[in-house]
Structure 1
Amino acid sequence: MTELRQKIPGRVHDKIALVTGGAKGIGRASVRLLAREGARVVIADIDVAAGQALAAEIGDAALFLRHDAGSEAGWQQLMAEVRERFGRLDILVNNAGILIAGTIEETSLEDWHRLMRVNADSVFLGCREAIGLMKAGGGSIINLSSIAALAGRDDYLAYSASKGAVAALTRSVAAFCRRRKYRIRCNSLHPDGVLTDMTSGGFPAGLDPERLTIDSDPMNRMCRPEDVAASVLFLASDEARAVNGVELRVDSGQMVMSI
């Protein structure tokens, strides 16, 4: 059975994938899963140590490149490197993001700009630069948004707004590529609570995060990075070739229980 399974191509066999924020959390889980399913994966992240460690763990199927996702020059340099090494790009996962709490009365303009740069500007730049590499042969762009883009969070105003921009941008990119007949699909993923380093700082001291997961209780809202990565893999694969411009919620049913 093992020998037979090794002969079966993975779901993204021989595709070239790029994952921003790929060194940790959802990005790291996505990198591991895409590589396991046959893709060659570029790990793009500002965290050099974590990115290099993940690339070493995966081996020949992974390459780490330091990347500031909010930098226009950085994106141009990154895509030039991908073009030179691989000649094409099949999958882009715009995952890089940060989380800063604050209501409309508390949020500073500095925090607003910082969130927009990392969470929204990076997705705009990634989509724009990736289309140039993808339009000849097609591809899949997957943008990480949030359930906060759909439902809103009064305590995470700027974060919600940045992720709302990602959702709107995704629909526009999908429409643009379809009208140009580029065969580039663009979809957004909308997780709710995910157990990552980014969210762990919001837990009360002494609370075991495992008690908040759907493994503990299906009424809980927290899931694992691997749960989101599974949706990344689906949207990246040819199985999703007719899925374009959608907002896929990965929220353990949280939004449908909000009324």
Structure 2
Amino acid sequence: MKKKRLLSRIFGTMTISAFAGVVAGMLASLVFVALIAVVQAYRVLELGVGPFETAVPIPLLLLLMAVATVLAAAVSYASANHFRRSLERFNDYLLNAHLDDTASLDGMHFAELRRLRVGVTRTIGRLRRENALLRETAFVDPRTGLSNMIAIDKAISESLMRATFEAPAALIMLDLDRFTRASEQLGSYASEALLAQAGQRLKSELAAISGPAGAALRDATIAALQADEFGVYMPNAVSREHVATIARAIRQAFAAPFEL
């Protein structure tokens, strides 16, 4: 048990390339020794030469064995290192695929790895598409196409802690007057179209704001909340004057009647 644990520790610290080099060197040494033993046995049995008498000096034999061992280890190390780099690229791809949607896997140099690459690439591609659909479902309001309450809450949680008195954040909340009555009179289909038009008008008006007030809308989140409520979160509001300017622009945009 201790011997097995010791071997596990030794091999556990070795790379694939080092392990291949060590094993190849050991095998080359064993083959070399076996060949010498066969030659010596032949010389003793067939030629009647003494067991330790050789045509080649022993130091030269040892040198040849060392050279053969080193060459075998070096060749095996280089070959296995090529394989190890392929595995490392494959592992890096698996680790980074969920973080980088543009990550790609270079060509593999072995048939098994190429087949594995095809399967993994297809699976990750499918998972990316499913994740994109889930993100859209989770953070987009289906009525208006704007961000939803989960998205604006996430934006607030991630950036509000960085707001200061000199660099404040701002949140504008608004709703549609008499929307409930209009919804009862027009029906659900018309009320959904009204909400979609209101969301588009809000988005278009904010996109048209330029100048210093427009800078306050950098990285802003426009969200459709519950019922007829909308929210505009500005993590870089800059000043109260800019927020007031944006609020007046929104009020003016909604002064015009809607067309259904």
Q: Check whether TM > 0.5.
A: no
Q: Which structure: greater helix fraction?
A: 2
With normalisation by structure 2, the TM-score equals 0.19
Normalised by the length of structure 1, the TM-score is 0.19
Greater C-alpha radius of gyration: 2
Higher RCO by CA contacts (8 Å cutoff, separation 6 or greater): 1
The structure in which a higher percent of residues are strand is 1
